[in-house]
Amino acid sequence: MKFREFIVREAIVPKLVARDRDGVLGELVGALVTAGAVPRSASEELLAALIKREKNGSTGFGRGVAVPHVKHAKVRKMVGTIGRSEEGIDFAALDHQPVYSVVLLLSPENQPQQHLQAMNIVFTNLQDDTFRRFLRQSTTREAILDLLDEADQAR
Amino acid sequence: MATASRDTVVRNRLGLHARPAMQFVDLATRFRSNIRVVSGGQRPGEADGKSVMQMIVLAAVEGTPLTIRAEGEDADRAVQELAELVESGFGED
């Protein structure tokens, strides 16, 4: 599994406008809708599912990153996107620190193995100090894409 | 230093996704022992049982064999309770 197999390039948001968790989730779902990766008719439901998931347990796993994700019947094909916040977002993270990089993943309900493989590549890279630092410093979509391509090529 | 080890298998259909990984780490961090988890199957891996990120990276699907190892004063109890959690399917189907 590689980033390019599920990260929707046009949906990457290098400078998030939203300042709170739910706003960021909405902005990223909106970017996926605009990019044509998610039907607009499903966006409200997906956003509600993402917020519910966060309330059940934050996906802010520490070190300034969060990986909000849901499996949902309205998702036909696994898609993801990345958002960057300059100011930092309160995601109720496990280490109580603000989140600067958000990787959002939407998966179909019936493909748990594919979902686990995507989580594997996301977390393998997010655990890497260099990757995390570069992601936080990438202020343009192109820079983020270069970083993802490098990570893909390294595997 | 006491050590203990238990073999188990991922039982739940969705595998060791984020929520089960966090449940595992929540339980693991209640013990003083160091905890390592070794996964077998097609893509073997090893993780610190107290790190959510490392546990998610295992990407252990249903049917993946896991070996839970602990080292410390409460090693026996740790591997027993953690193996029981995995075998319970984390409360999922």
What digits encode the pLDDT tens for the residues A97-154?
A: 999 999 999 999 999 999 999 999 999 999 999 999 999 999 999 999 999 999 999 9
* CA proximity to A5, closest of A110, A144, A154, A152: A152
A125 class by beta-carbon count within 10 Å (0-12 exposed, 13-18 middle, 19+ buried): buried
Q: Tell me the pLDDT of chain B averaged across its residues.
A: 96
Going through chain B in order, the beta strands assigned E by DSSP cover: 3-9, 34-39, 45-48, 65-71
Q: Which band of pLDDT confidence, cut at 50, 70 and 90, is reported for residue B43?
A: confident
Q: Which band of pLDDT confidence, cut at 50, 70 and 90, is reported for residue A75?
A: very high
What is the mean predicted confidence (pLDDT) over B39-47? Answer: 92
Please tell me which of the candidates B13, B22, B56 has its beta carbon nearest to residue A119.
B56
Kindly report the pTM of this predicted structure: 0.91
The first and second tokens of residue B48, run together, are 């610190």
pLDDT of residue B42: 84
Give percent of chain A above pLDDT 70: 100
Percentages helix, strand, coil for chain A, rounded to the nearest 5?
50, 20, 35
pLDDT of residue B1: 83
Q: Which band of pLDDT confidence, cut at 50, 70 and 90, is reported for residue B93?
A: confident
Tell me how many helices (H) and strands (E) chain A has: 5, 4
Q: Which band of pLDDT confidence, cut at 50, 70 and 90, is reported for residue B32?
A: very high
How far, in Å, CA of A9 to CA of A80, rounded?
9
* CA proximity to A54, closest of A20, A9, A82: A20
Identify the residue among A117, A119, A125, A132 best suited for mutation to test binding to B, counting B beta carbons within 10 A and taking the highest.
Answer: A119
pLDDT surpasses 90 at A155: no
pLDDT surpasses 80 at B68: yes
- Given a contact cutoff of 8 angstroms between Cβ atoms, the answer to whether A96 and A60 are in contact is no
Q: How far is B59 from chain A (nearest CA, A)?
A: 5
Note whether A62 contacts B22, CB cutoff 8 Å.
no
* Catalytic residue set of A: 69
Please name each of the domains of chain A with its CATH number.
3-154 (3.40.930.10)
What is the mean predicted confidence (pLDDT) over B50-76? Answer: 96
Which residue's structure tokens are 């520490």?
A: A62
Cβ neighbours of residue A77 under 8 Å, at least 6 residues apart? A108
In one letter, which amino acid is A60?
Answer: G
Give the chain A residue nearest B22 (alpha carbons): A57
Per-residue CA distances from A147 to A2, A60, A137, B14 (Å): 12, 21, 11, 30
Q: How far is A18 from chain B (nearest CA, A)?
A: 25
- Residues in A closer than 8 angstroms to B17, CB to CB, are 112, 115-116, 119
What is the mean predicted confidence (pLDDT) over A44-64? Answer: 95
Give the containing element (helix H, strand E) for A23. Answer: helix A21-34
pLDDT of residue A47: 98
Please tell me which of the candidates A56, A119, A124 has its beta carbon nearest to residue B17.
A119
- Given a contact cutoff of 8 angstroms between Cβ atoms, the answer to whether A16 and A84 are in contact is yes
